[in-house]
Amino acid sequence: MATSVQTGKRQALRSLWIGGRLWIGAVVAVLLSATMAGIILAHVSRLFLHARHDVATLEQLRLVLDTANRISAERAPSNVLMSGGPGLPSARDRLRAARAQTDQALARGAAIVPAALLQDAVRHLARARALVDQAASQPPAGYGAVQNAVDALFAAYDAYRAVVLWRAAPLIRFDPELAGPVQHALILCFLRDDAGRLGSTIIAPLVAHAPISSSNIAAGDRLSGRIAMQWQLLALDPDLTDGGSRLAALRAEAETAYFGDGQPLVAGLIAEGRHGGAYTSDAAAFSGHYVETLTPLEIWRTACLDALLARYRQKEHQALDVAWIVGGMMLVVVWLIAGGVLLVHLRVLRPLLEASEAVVALVHDQPVRLPLSHPGGPELRPLIDAVALLDIKLRERAAQARQLKYQAETDELTGLLNRRAFLMLGEPRLAGAGPGERVFFILLDIDHFKAINDRHGHTSGDRVLVAVANALRAHVRPCDLVARIGGEEFAILIQAPSQGIALSLAHRLRQSVAGLAILSTDGARVSVTASFGVAAGDGLIWRQCVAKADVALYAAKRAGRNRVHLAEQDVFAWPSPPRSGPLPA
């Protein structure tokens, strides 16, 4: 009996000793796991706090950059208002709205911007606005008054640039990861402003109808050089804004709009200003057109900033997700260790102790079934979704390509071919006329179109362009090419057996244009005529044929306008007067 009791005590002590050692090991394993998880969580927490700080500072930088852009954007409506042209009330309303947006942006930034820096920028901005209002109140504004207002607007932006650098400098200096993206954002912001400044260098000469000063020419040269350098700097780090095809497309659109249209427009007006100031555009029309060329650049800048902020917000969310995952894994590890120890204790340790002591007669050992499952189908779901998404994106891309092709070949206002499409379709026809057919180039220009715009407004001018385009379209065959190749200049390319048919068509078109009944926005009748130049393309290349028709057109204008003039080279080849009648189908 005593031996049995002693044996039972020894068995209980051994079971307690072995079980205690097992649980001690489990506690040690839990502590080691907790230590490792704590180290990981500490690192993840630092990443999360760093990412949150980056997002907050980038949002502040975005705010000051947007405010800087609003200050820069005030220049366009200010320029239009100082021009004193048609649409002055609407120009004043647009400027009032632009100023309100700037003031709202400045108010939002007041909480994060040092008061001294902000007050300096506000003071410069108030002075610039006063000079703009003063120049606009005494039409026609003089060269000096407009230039002083423009320079004051530049100074207001430069004053706020100190705020931009104040916010960006710590990010560049102390955060290597943000240095590149922040510099990229700054270059984009300053590029947009410099492009706007380049357009403003020609505003005072346009308003005053005076030659451009040497200082403005020098400023334009400096700005052009700086813009080119900024664009090259942006090209050095394409990965900083690598947001896929959308950002690439926006970049290409911005480059095409500005360097293909905006900058050449300014260069052309500066060249006109160098030679006496006989400008082909007024300040209001130039400002409206030039702002349109800057819009894609501003859209690209905004998209890049959005992409940058989205990337760092994603980092913040990822760090938080990792923290939750690590914490969850730690709980799982603790549960697994405790469950494993309990399982070993209940399913392995106790039966072994009982067997070793030859006391336990039965051993209960059941296989552990892990709750593993293999759904199968869900693993394929991302691939199926990806294929479906690819199909949608390809169809969207095809639709966009068709739309872009239409936009690239069609004049947006009139629906006719544009210059590029006219050249692309017309040049092969000029070189490949069929037997018995000759190619004729008809060039026409609306007479006194600038006066129509000045008197009735640009909306009425647009109505005139659309009406003329419809008249041309109604009198030509579907196989003929009709295009708007300039502001008020149109071109027609036809194939006809004789010169008389081409001249007959030109006369009918002239009569049709002269008979148009067009009302302006205020109900007044707009009188429209056009001058025509007709040239045969026999044995000529495209450039020669266009030049030939152009000479004939200007001969028609010199002869009094509202008439058809045949190219002089073709007069001797015309054996009989032009016959009337419709152009053969």
**Are 141 and 82 a contacting pair, CB within 8 Å?**
yes
**Catalytic residue, candidates 253, 488, 489, 568:** 488
DSSP output for 391-442: HHHHHHHHHHHHHHHHHHHB-TTT-SB-HHHHHHHHHHHHH-PPTT-EEEEE
Name residues whose C-beta falls within 8 Å of residue 103's C-beta, 6 or more positions apart in sequence.
Answer: none
Enter the tokens of residue 110. 């007041």
Q: What are phi and psi of 526, to 5 degrees?
A: -105, 115
CA distance 532 to 567: 10
CA gap 556, 489 in Å, rounded: 14
Strands 530-536 and 564-566: parallel
Report which of 360, 334, 353 is spatially closest to residue 21, judged by C-alpha positions: 353
Instruction: Go through the chain and tell me how many residues it has.
Output: 585
Strand, coil or helix: what is 73? Answer: helix
Q: Please confirm, yes or no, whether 488 is among the known catalytic residues.
A: yes
DSSP 349: I
- Give the number of other Cβ atoms within 10 Å of residue 396's Cβ: 10
Amino acid at 276: G
C-beta separation of 247 from 159 below 8 A: no
What value, to the nearest 5°, has the Cα angle with vertex 194 and ends 189 and 197? 130
DSSP 218-282: HHHHHHHHHHHHHHHHHHH-GGGG---HHHHHHHHHHHHHIIIIIHHHHHHHHHHHHTT---SS-
Q: Could you check whether the bond before residue 140 is cis, i.e. omega within 30 degrees of 0?
A: yes
Which residues are catalytically annotated?
488
